[in-house]
Amino acid sequence: VLLLAGVFLGAAVLIEPLGFPVAGALLFWGAAFALGSRRTDRDPLIAAGLSLVTYTVFNNLLGVPLPGGPLMGVL
């Protein structure tokens, strides 16, 4: 539980300087790791994809702006 709480706290701290896509990917990967997944080949790819899809849905489809960070011009 402490590892999962640390992952959430880390994502909250990193969302402003890194942006949601990077912080969200770290959050999703860290949560999967804290909950027992040990697939180091698959989990980061799924986390990155899930984070980008979440960012796109909120930012473009729902009109809720999320911080893009350094990737703001790319996404």
Per residue in 55-75, pLDDT (tens digit) is 999 999 999 998 988 877 776
- Residue 57 is given by DSSP the state I
- Reported confidence tier of residue 6, pLDDT bands at 50, 70, 90: very high
Q: Are 28 and 39 in contact (CB under 8 A)?
A: no
CA dihedral 39, 59, 57, 5 (to 10 degrees): 40
Q: Are 7 and 30 in contact (CB under 8 A)?
A: yes
Whether the predicted pLDDT of 10 surpasses 90 = yes
What pLDDT score was predicted for residue 24?
95
